[in-house]
Structure 1
Amino acid sequence: MRIAIDSEAILFAFSGARAELEDILRPSILAINEKIIDDYSSKVLKDGAGLGKDWLTRLFSTPSRLRLVSTEEMQTYELDHSDVDQSYVAAAFFNGHYLISPNKNQSLIEKAKDYGIQINDTKSPLEIDNMPGNAIIFNALLNSKTTYRHVIIRHFFANEKNIVIYDRYIKDSSLCLFENILKYCHQNADITIISDFDRNASSTITADAAQKRIKKIRPHANVKCYFPDLKNCVDTHDRHIHLGHRLQISFSSGTDCFGLHPKWSNSECEISVHYLSKSSAVRNYYALTSLTARKPIIIKAYSKI
């Protein structure tokens, strides 16, 4: 998780008073700047021993665990690098928008509000699910300059038993992706694909052809292809893959974004993998078993929202 935390909160967390706060801090990426380093040095890293000092010392020797906010960055956003409160606001501003601090200083509170910073006062309950870096466990950015291949998301499908794919407009490169990633799912998986397929010439791929190609690589899987019910379809441009109650993979553009072998000419797309659980929301997809069907069926999938 990406956080900013002031010196008083560090001392409090490692005093034994808030074990869950200490647990959150240990694996986090911490934002610092010159003024914060001075504050830590005088209050946490001063002579003596302590778990907070040990933790900070280890972090300072591991650059990948730190986000150093420069004076220039602060000046760009009109934050005073000589002011310790504004330094902590800047740290949060550049590292997840989350500041842990028991400081009741009104100027800090007002400045944090001005910059959209959420403050936890160390004694309030911590909403871990909403903390930065918790919900999205993987992210990839593709464009015409990248040549990413399916392997970057393929491992998420290993042994999955329930897969729902929704993309209204698929191309051959989409189906190539599905073939590549679905051969890693459980051999008896339930696989559902919801798409327009060749309806209104949306694609050259028919539902029957898609089903046959997936069955070829996973012959024992239960593969179903449906058409979205346009009367109830409010997600015209959404593209998602739901993996049981574990993960949701969302595509900002089509699932054809990887392109095809051997060039792998990527197109503009952000792929995000979201953590799910059985307490996550349930999404209803209204689908038709055929283009002549009058009554839709409802396909449920665990979802990020």
Structure 2
Amino acid sequence: MNNVKKNFSIRDLENLSGIKAHTIRIWEKRYSLLSPERTNTNIRTYSLQSLQKLLNVTLLYHNGHKISKIAKIPEKDIPLVVREIVAKKSHKNHAINAFKLAMVNFDQTIFFNTYNSLLNESSFREVFKETFIPLLNELGLLWQTDTISPAHEHFITSLIKQKILLNTEKLQHQRPTKTDKIFVAFLPENEIHEIGLLYLNYEIVLRGYKCIYLGQTIPMENLMDVMKYFENIYFLSYFTVVPEKDRINKYMQEFDKLVSDYDNPNFWVLGRQVQHIDTDKLPRFVKTFTSIDEVVSKL
């Protein structure tokens, strides 16, 4: 799992491309688009190059190219045609496939061209909500089915983080205009999935609030440092994989003790692990959320 995945099943291809396995087999047989190898038990396997080609073909296909015409394009020219399309026209319904293509090819150019094309039509907030969130949800499924490797996921999420940080930085040149809340955004120890928290940081700053962004894997006792400086802190965290199911309620109890001497503490938390919190035992200052949009609506 620590190496880049190099062999894919036909189900992997179906998951990544959105093209049904039955259709892929027809394209193979009728147009010789792919040349799978076979295992000793006669099961098709596909190389990374085959997957890259199929994603290219899929993007062309969804942009109005007939499969019979695509089959006649020299293989070495297919990526060039794809880049032309992505550079000129990358509508929202094609963008997710274009981003997946960028991920599988480790191709920053496709990512940036697709992103910039979307910005011609939409705001950054719209791009994140309408394209990046569905893409990230899909990546989660691809990860669970072992369709993509850690290298693929880290590559694409790092590029998305860059865009969130860039757009946040543009806002941070202005002083906060609201002082009733000061947010402290952090992830608990061993939690490294920060895209959701990074985006919330952007939304907080956009609305004129000060946000002290501490980031990944913060020991709880380190939060005491910021409590010495501010009186109206709203702690904000995103629990994706930690605290674990059997540890999360104890974590909330420990947090309660940590802020016991702090006047008017507040703690907003969301993420997959929140479902395991015993809400009947939560301190009154803790508020749980089910989505980023729900948090944003309370800002």
TM over 0.5: no
Q: Which has the bigger relative contact order, CA under 8 A and spacing at least 6? A: 1
TM-score, L = length of structure 2: 0.26
Going by fraction, where is helix more abundant, 1 or 2? 2
Query: Going by fraction, where is strand more abundant, 1 or 2?
Result: 1
Structure with greater Cα Rg:
1
Give the TM-score taking structure 1 as reference length: 0.25
